[in-house]
Amino acid sequence: MTIPSIKEIENLEGKKVLLRLDLNLPIKDGKILDDFRLKKALPTINFLIEKKAKVIILSHIGRGGKDSLAPVVSLLNKLVEAELITDYDQDFTKKPGQVFVLENLRKNPGEENNYEEFAKKLASLGDIYVNDAFAVSHREHASIVGLPKLLPSYVGLLFEEEVNELSFALNPPQPFLFILGGAKFETKMPLIEKYLDIANNLFIGGALANNFFKEKGFEVGISAVDDSISLKNIFGNKKIILPKDVIVKNQGEIIIKKPNKVSVGDKILDAGPESLLQLKEIIAQSEFVLWNGPLGYYEDGFDKGSYDLLKIIASSNVKSIIGGGDTVSLVSKMGLEDKISFVSTGGGAMLKFLTEGTLPGIEALKKEEE
């Protein structure tokens, strides 16, 4: 896939570079919980600084435009000197600083609505546009698909790495195990259907597995199930592997059960120990493992299955790619990034790229190159 790269720019000295990053870091009570995405953006930021460019970082944080990037800029300032800009209309580019961060793009409705007027306002601030925000490039927002029409445009170092690594998963070595967890069945069903033709084994975990249990006629109690999804085209496929046991909660009691022994009041919240042993055996026989989405209800503390799975993959010699918001947070929290072949910053973007082989943000750059 040919996408113009930041490495192709001959002279960046003195140029004003609009650098789209994904600095949507998880924050609670003003404290950043995970700086993984910021660390992944540093190589491109430092590349531009070394080339003596003036860097104008564009990013969003949170939903609805209410949050501020101020905590992120405070953390960034420990790594490079940066200034938060809240007024886009001032001529801040004449300031002596080299790195500026525009306040949350989503504070302006023009970002999410991809208004041309907003894209033009952003474009007026720079000479060159660089997209290093793979994780949001599945969204047709002004800073993703509008800006490349208005300025010479390129991908950053992280974006380029994401595309190269995830492209590997489009035609992977065999035997190949795909582990898919989390929820949001509507975004993952196309991926399941596609990878049943590519993978040797497809393990379904998380809330996704509950639909399969229900289709089998098992009781799923009060577990999360997406009744809008039909499994008729894939149900019974021998490549699909479901958890052998599950962790359920019932009136405060936590129990390990076989999927066919779940009771009316039970809520399935994680994969059990037998399921992890099952995965360990399959991983030992695989050449490549792709994993997106946690095995349990991560937000509610049911993360043991995902923790154990990550340890299994990290201790194996298998080529591995992991992605998805909660899954990536887990890798970062456990400090196991160096034990995984590649950790993607993308959740929805990773799923869309694996399904379609491209993203709106990629297509916008390719058109610019043509």
The amino acid sitting at 368 is: E
The secondary element (H helix, E strand) that includes residue 330 is helix 325-334
Residue 73 lies in a domain: yes
Residue 89 lies in a domain: yes
Question: What's the average model confidence in pLDDT over 217-239?
Answer: 90
Nearest to 135 by CA among 285, 351, 313, 336: 351
Query: Is the model more confident about 60 or about 29?
Result: 60
Q: pLDDT grade, residue 1 (50/70/90)?
A: low
Residue 268 lies in a domain: yes
Q: Give percent of the chain with pLDDT exceeding 90.
A: 76
Tokens in use for 327? 């899954």
Cβ neighbours of residue 309 closer than 8 Å, sequence gap 6 or more: 179, 271, 276, 279, 291, 295
Same domain, 93 and 18: yes
Same domain, 216 and 328: yes
Same domain, 286 and 194: yes
Nearest to 329 by CA among 353, 295, 298: 298
Same domain, 131 and 277: no
Residue 352 lies in a domain: no
Same domain, 175 and 100: no
Tokens in use for 87? 């007024």
pTM for the predicted model, two decimal places = 0.91
Question: What span, in angstroms and rounded, lies between the C-alpha atoms of 225 and 360?
Answer: 30
- The CATH number of whichever domain residue 26 belongs to comes to 3.40.50.1260
Q: pLDDT grade, residue 347 (50/70/90)?
A: confident
Question: What span, in angstroms and rounded, lies between the C-alpha atoms of 316 and 44?
Answer: 31
Q: How many domains does the chain have?
A: 2
Question: What span, in angstroms and rounded, lies between the C-alpha atoms of 312 and 327?
Answer: 14
Q: Which contacts qualify for 74-78: CB closer than 8 Å, 24 or more apart?
A: 75/25, 75/32, 75/35, 75/38, 76/23, 76/38, 76/101
Omega of the bond leading into 175 within 30 degrees of 0 (cis)? yes
CA dihedral for 286, 357, 346, 238, sign (positive or negative): negative
CA dihedral for 102, 108, 113, 117, sign (positive or negative): negative
Q: pLDDT grade, residue 367 (50/70/90)?
A: very low
Nearest to 182 by CA among 306, 62, 286: 306
Beta carbons of 224 and 249 less than 8 angstroms apart: no
Same domain, 206 and 146: no
Checking DSSP bridges between strand 246-250 and strand 253-257, what pairing results, if any?
antiparallel
CA dihedral for 278, 280, 281, 283, sign (positive or negative): positive
Same domain, 136 and 35: yes
Question: What span, in angstroms and rounded, lies between the C-alpha atoms of 342 and 356?
Answer: 20
3-state secondary structure of 280: helix
- 200-209, 253-262, 311-320, 334-343: the lowest-pLDDT one: 334-343
Residue 346 lies in a domain: no
Asked if residue 368 has pLDDT above 50, the reply is no
Please list the residues that pair with 201 across neighbouring strands. Answer: 177
Residue 24 lies in a domain: yes
Asked if residue 74 has pLDDT above 50, the reply is yes
Same domain, 187 and 334: yes
CA dihedral for 110, 111, 112, 113, sign (positive or negative): positive
Same domain, 129 and 193: no
Asked if residue 93 has pLDDT above 90, the reply is no
Domain around 175: 169-339
Residue 10 lies in a domain: yes
Nearest to 176 by CA among 200, 157, 212: 200
Same domain, 182 and 81: no
Question: What span, in angstroms and rounded, lies between the C-alpha atoms of 267 and 223?
Answer: 4
Largest CA distance in the chain: 68
Residue 351 lies in a domain: no
Nearest to 200 by CA among 321, 120, 288: 288
Same domain, 224 and 155: no
Same domain, 34 and 144: yes
pLDDT at 370: 41
